[in-house]
Amino acid sequence: MSADVMEYFRKLPEEGADGVDGRRVTIAEIAAEAGVSVPTVSRVLNGRTDVAAGTRERVENLLSAHGYVRRASRQRPGGAALIDLVFNDIDSPWAVELLRGVEESTHAAGVGMVVSAVHKRPASTRQWLQNLRARTSDGVIFVLAGPGPASTELQRLGVPVVIVDPAGNASADTPTIGATNYAGGRNATEHLIKLGHRRIGLIAGPRDLLCSRARLDGYRAALDEAGIGDELIVQGDFTHKSGFAGLGRLLDEPGRPTAVFAASDTMALGAYEAARQRGLRIPDDLSIVGFDDLPESRWASPPLTTVRQPLVEMGALAARTLLRLARGESIDVPRVELVTELVVRDSTAPPR
| Contact between 18 and a second copy per CB under 8 A | no
The answer to the question of residue 78 lying near a second copy (CB under 8 A) is yes
∠ Cα 41 45 47 (to 5°) = 115
Q: How far is the CB of 93 from a second copy (least distance, A)?
A: 6
Check: CB of residue 343 under 8 Å from CB of residue 306. yes
How far, in Å, CA of 9 to CA of 47, rounded?
8
Q: Which is nearer to a second copy, 218 or 315 (CB)?
A: 315
Tell me the C-alpha distance between 67 and 156, whole Å.
10
279 touching a second copy, by CB under 8 A: no
Where would I find the H helices in the chain? 3-6, 27-34, 38-45, 53-65, 93-108, 122-135, 151-157, 181-194, 210-225, 240-252, 265-277, 295-299, 311-326
The answer to whether 15 contacts a second copy (rule: CB under 8 A) is no
Q: How many residues bind a second copy (CB under 8 A)?
A: 53
| Summary count for the chain: helices (H), strands (E) | 13, 14
Q: With b meaning 16 or more CB within 10 Å and e meaning fewer, what string describes 321-342?
A: bbbbbbbbebbeebebbeebbb
- Residue 127 binds a second copy, judged by CB under 8 A: yes
> What is the smallest separation between the CB atom of 330 and a second copy, expressed in angstroms?
26
Q: What is the DSSP letter of 159?
A: -
For strand 161-164 and strand 259-262, is the pairing parallel, antiparallel, or unpaired?
unpaired
Question: What is the smallest separation between the CB atom of 19 and a second copy, expressed in angstroms?
Answer: 19
CB of 259 to a second copy, least distance (A): 18
Question: Per rule CB under 8 A, is residue 128 in the interface with a second copy?
Answer: yes
Please check whether residue 333 is in contact with residue 268, taking contact to mean a CB–CB distance below 8 angstroms. no
**Backbone conformation region of residue 196, classed left if phi is above 0, alpha if psi is from -120 to 50, else beta:** left
What's the rounded Cα separation, in Å, for the pair 264 and 287?
15
The radius of gyration of the chain's CA atoms, rounded to the nearest angstrom, is: 23
73 contributes a contact to a second copy by CB under 8 A: no
Of 39, 112, 248, 334, which one interacts with a second copy (CB under 8 A)? 112
Smallest gap from residue 278 Cβ to a second copy (A): 12
User: In angstroms, what is the minimal distance from the CB of 117 to a second copy?
Assistant: 6
Stretch that binds a second copy, among 35-43, 162-170, 178-186, 267-275 (CB under 8 A): 267-275
CA nearest to 160, candidates 178, 179, 135, 142: 142
Which among 3-11, 41-49, 192-200, 294-302 is the span making contact with a second copy, rule CB under 8 A?
Answer: 294-302
Span from 134-142, 145-153, 154-162, 180-188 in contact with a second copy (CB under 8 A): 134-142
Q: Is 24 in the site for a second copy (CB under 8 A)?
A: no
Q: For a second copy, which stretch binds (CB under 8 A), given 19-27, 46-54, 73-81, 148-156?
A: 73-81
Segment interacting with a second copy, rule: CB under 8 A, options 49-57, 62-70, 129-137, 199-207: 129-137
Chain residues in the site for a second copy (CB under 8 A): 13-14, 77-82, 84, 90-91, 93, 95-96, 99-100, 103-104, 107, 110-117, 124, 127-128, 130-136, 240, 266, 269-270, 272-273, 275-276, 295-296, 298-303
